[in-house]
Amino acid sequence: MVDWSHSHFNVDKVILMGHSRGGFLSSHFSAKNPEKVLASVNFAGVWSAFCEGKNGGFSHDALKDSATRFKNMYWAYFENDSYFGHDRFGDPGYQWLSATANAAGIQFKVYPQLDLKDGHLTPTWRPDVWANDVFNWMEGVK
């Protein structure tokens, strides 16, 4: 898709945005292919929160690597997201994600859950929560 976008729209670099595993992959792909990506937006991104303990912390390691290698990223996470509880990813208050992003100079923000039963639904069903911040950030990306 990225290569197709380059040729179809005649652009040098793209901006990737993804939610959940798509957010994780946007961060991961950007770090592995910085020559193809201008910026990346990760909405509540994690590879497999349910298996983080079983897979040896793969999501933690890959997100830390991505933050170290690619700086034009915006990480948006959401209150009361069940994927990040103690029994899954293990970062319910986002201390680890926040510290990782801040140490690397990555934009990081936690948004309210609002009226949805799980904060993991917020990026998809309530873009009004994050859109102004993310699009304003994108305008400053070079």
Confidence of residue 87 (pLDDT cuts 50, 70, 90): low
Looking at residue 16, what is its pLDDT? 96
Both tokens of 22, joined, read 């798509």
Looking at residue 112, what is its pLDDT? 95
Residue 5 CA: distances (Å) to CA of 8, 15, 17, 73, 78? 5, 10, 14, 19, 29
The average confidence (pLDDT) of the chain is 90
pLDDT at 90 over 80: no
**Cβ-contact 54, 84 below 8 angstroms:** no
What are the tens digits of pLDDT across the range 14-72? 999 999 999 999 999 999 999 999 999 999 988 776 666 666 778 888 999 999 999 99
Confidence of residue 131 (pLDDT cuts 50, 70, 90): very high
